[in-house]
Amino acid sequence: MTNNSNNRQSFRHEVLIIGSGAAGLSLALRLPPSVKVAVIAKGPETASSTYYAQGGISSVLRPDDSFASHVEDTLNAGAGLCNEEAVRFTVEKGPENIQWLADLGVPFTSDLSKEGQKTWHLTREGGHSYRRVIHAADATGKALETTLLNHALHSDNIEIFNHHNAVDLITGGKLGLDHNRCIGAYAYNKQKDCVESFQARSVVLATGGASKVYLYTSNPDGATGDGIAMAWRAGCRVANMEFMQFHPTCLYHPEAKSFLLTEALRGEGGKLLLPDGQRFMDRFDERAELAPRDIVARAIDHEMKRLGAECMYLDISHKPAAFIRSHFPTIYARCKELGMDITKQPVPVVPAAHYTCGGVHTDLNGCTDVENLYAIGETAFTGLHGANRMASNSLLECLVFSQSASKHIQQQLSQKHNWDTVRPWDESRVTDSDEDVVVSHNWDELRRFMWDYVGIVRTDKRLQRAKHRVDLLLSEIEEYYGNYKINNDLLELRNLAVVADLIIRCAMQRKESRGLHYTLDYPETDTTDTPHNSVLSPPNFETQ
């Protein structure tokens, strides 16, 4: 660690991981103790989407299940756009990664067999043919994140920097060098109100998704697409951003901000109801409540618009109360706090933006188009999810690709390396802003028009309106960014605007309805040609 002339610290590690969720912490823990690792956490360490994940992790863990079945289910959910090699790669590495977590001490829920032996309890979620979702009650993400974090905090080679928001990647091209390798990142220290430089031989983007680009989301506040936006600005391709998954069942209550009702509720027999108490999912899909999320979300959206209703209802009260309280203690407790008893009554639900299926284009090692730069987890586009992510495949992806990326990084670290000189952050030509209202206004406008025009159901006209709005916002934000000192809200707004533009551009390319992208102008899936991914290349894209 060194100090520059402006009293802003600069740091040097062998590996820099931006993001402290399941993907980032898993990778950090899989690197040898001899490798010095920096983990940048946007808030406190537990502010990631992982911490809020309820359902579980999908993996083939029973003899009556098979890799072939898991692969087939994932391909079916992905609506023709999954990369089968990536799917098979991920599925086949599932069991060893679950065992790795169990060895670390993740407290997975278990049952006693008839013979009195302890076995993992597996549940079934939408799109799965078998029970293959391992979980820790209904707070799997919390158990996973807490366990990983505890190990990281006790690892001598891992240094965690809380309350740091990455600003931009540092590449050779930006420094005027004869290469465009990624050599670090600038990060805004929220507590010290300054920008610090982090230099590394390998940089990993594990910043999660971009669902905060929408007005209603199940994600925490930090899900602003930072890694995707930074990679795009650094010269990486981005793919399939039109496929934004809306979780069908978020709790509808003014005090229940972003509270998700896990799909496992439907997996254990929960029914979706109209306001008059009638079921409706069987009119949309023969799998009813266990249909993939895109179908369930569109069905709820359709019924809400048809009836002019504010919400639909989810009912699991027909199951034994003891079963509900033991399997869904977090949901039971939260609903009880809000005056609802899920053991006795249906609860109101609405769809909300939940998962980014597209992202930074990578290979099976997490490598991006920029040398020394990796992307893993929800930030990345690996080809696993296709046009729709199947339930509980997301945490599995985090684990499997942190494993493969860690192996590739170790190979790279074994090579000889010369450190480049990184310049400190320069804000000598900017001033403090007296117009912060511009940021808050643009933040609100962006999320509202994305919800209205680029949401669950789209049209060409809505997309054109959104593109016009986002173009104006991008130019206004860049002018503001160039003239004033940065702060956290400005950084997130800048990234959200980039991500919104990428979503809109990908959506405008797709002249069909497929998976999570549904448009009234092209309501059918195009069966005349080979399905294609929506791949965008930035202006500074260079083929390796």
* Backbone φ and ψ of 199, nearest 5°: -105, 140
Cβ neighbour number for residue 363 with a 10 Å cutoff: 16
Report CA torsion sign: 325, 327, 333, 338.
negative
Sheet holding 312-315, edge to edge: 244-251, 347-356, 312-315, 271-273
Q: Are 161 and 147 in contact (CB under 8 A)?
A: no
Going by C-alpha positions, the residue among 310, 317, 296, 185 that lies closest to residue 254 is: 310
The DSSP H or E segment spanning 320 is none
Rounded Cα distance between 94 and 133, Å, is 11
Amino acid at 77: A
Return the residue matching tokens 């990796």: 374
529's CB contacts (< 8 A; 6+ apart) are none
The DSSP H or E segment spanning 43 is none
Amino acid at 272: L
Beta bridge partners of 271: 315
Catalytic residue among 201, 293, 447, 462: 293
Q: DSSP assignment, residue 427? A: -
Q: Judge whether 293 counts as a catalytic residue.
A: yes
| Overall size of the chain counted in residues | 544
Report CA torsion sign: 70, 72, 77, 80.
positive
Return the residue matching tokens 């639909």: 312
The DSSP H or E segment spanning 388 is none
434's CB contacts (< 8 A; 6+ apart) are none
Cβ neighbour number for residue 68 with a 10 Å cutoff: 11
Coil, helix or strand at residue 17 = strand
- Is residue 261 left, alpha or beta, with left meaning phi > 0 and alpha meaning psi from -120 to 50? beta
Going by C-alpha positions, the residue among 371, 353, 354, 355 that lies closest to residue 363 is: 371
Q: Give me the active site residues, please.
A: 293
